[in-house]
Homo-oligomer: A and B are copies of this chain.
Amino acid sequence: MNRLKTKLGKLELKNPITVASGTFGVENNNFIDFNSLGAIVSKTITKNEKIGNPPPRLYETSNGLLNSIGLQNPGLKGFIENVLPKYATYETPFIVSFSGSTIDEFSEILLELEKYDSISGYEVNVSCPNVENEGIAFGTDPKIVYKLTKQLASQTDKELIIKLTPNVTDIVSIAKAAEDAGANSLALINTLLGMSIDWKSGKSHIRRGIAGYSGPAIKPVAIQNVYRVSSNVKIPILAMGGVSNWKDALEFFYAGANVVAIGTYNFVNPKITIETIDNLNRHFLSRNQNLTEIIGKINGIN
């Protein structure tokens, strides 16, 4: 009996562990068997190739990581030609993360990706500036998230995941907008916004200044967001933010996550996903319990 089975909307997963977009690639098959993962999520792709931001792009802070990759990616065409085929050989559901700067662009990318059966679902990255709306990030405005999700939901029968940014006043309103518009599930959280400066020279450690903040340091913020969103929507949650071991994953399940992704920690330990799956398996076996019994079962609050 498989105690780790879980569902992410339309997808039935053999276990609840996947990888966070942008922290994992084909090269990781040097370390782990991709067929052991619950799912695989690609690095975010855009319509055209992006060369990304000038370096330095990374800086480690106390128990966290700042990154400013700038969505470097080979573009839709490059992805379909060179990346997608490499994942087609695995049974594990493959979820493609993509982003755009207009709703039409998102829509166009989805239409193209729809042609490929090896894709099981989409993670829509809405943390990017919306050129149609004064450059305000898509993901910060519930109305735009609604409109975008509605459009994409009408174009696909595959799993449609909207990935939310935590850098907003009211993530619940945005989660609900996505749910109302037909999203099958939600992914959260994307990185916080952070910065770091060299005290000797006053130089920003990251060339672009403001960067994305991830890793163990953001876990409490992620748990809080997952708890609030899961308490207010019915669709499942793919959670991430600072997971470094199976105990962290359990924390997320209790908070309401149906699936958990590991990001930054893949850099620390490239076998972390597999180790997490093994340990969770052992945990639920020893408790004679199924994963699904604890999802959202946080207690002790009043």
Interface residues of A (CB under 8 A from B): 54, 61-64, 66, 140, 167-170, 192-199, 201-204, 207-211, 213, 216-221, 223-224, 227-228, 247-248, 250-251, 254-255, 294, 297-302
Beyond A62-B63, A169-B140, A217-B64, is A224–B300 a contact (Cβ under 8 Å)? no
In the bound complex, what is the Cα–Cα distance between A187 and B75 (angstroms)? 43
A-B contact pairs, 17 of them (CB 8 A): A61-B219, A140-B169, A167-B169, A168-B168, A192-B220, A192-B221, A194-B221, A195-B224, A196-B219, A196-B251, A198-B251, A199-B247, A201-B299, A208-B301, A210-B227, A213-B220, A217-B217
Please tell me which one of the listed residues B61, B227, B248 contacts residue A195 in the complex, with CB atoms under 8 A apart. B227
B195 and A223 within 8 A (CB) = yes
Please tell me which one of the listed residues B209, B248, B300 contacts residue A204 in the complex, with CB atoms under 8 A apart. B300
Interfacial chain B residues near A254, Cβ < 8 Å: 197, 199, 202
A197 and B223 within 8 A (CB) = yes
Main DSSP-derived SS at the A contact region: mixed
In the bound complex, what is the Cα–Cα distance between A210 and B216 (angstroms)? 18
A251 and B54 within 8 A (CB) = no
Shortest beta-carbon distance from A32 to chain B in Å:
23
Interfacial chain B residues near A209, Cβ < 8 Å: 227, 298, 301
In the bound complex, what is the Cα–Cα distance between A302 and B66 (angstroms)? 16
Which chain B residue lies CB-closest to A205? B300
In the bound complex, what is the Cα–Cα distance between A128 and B168 (angstroms)? 17
In the bound complex, what is the Cα–Cα distance between A19 and B182 (angstroms)? 48
Interfacial chain B residues near A202, Cβ < 8 Å: 254, 294, 297-300
Interfacial chain B residues near A210, Cβ < 8 Å: 224, 227-228
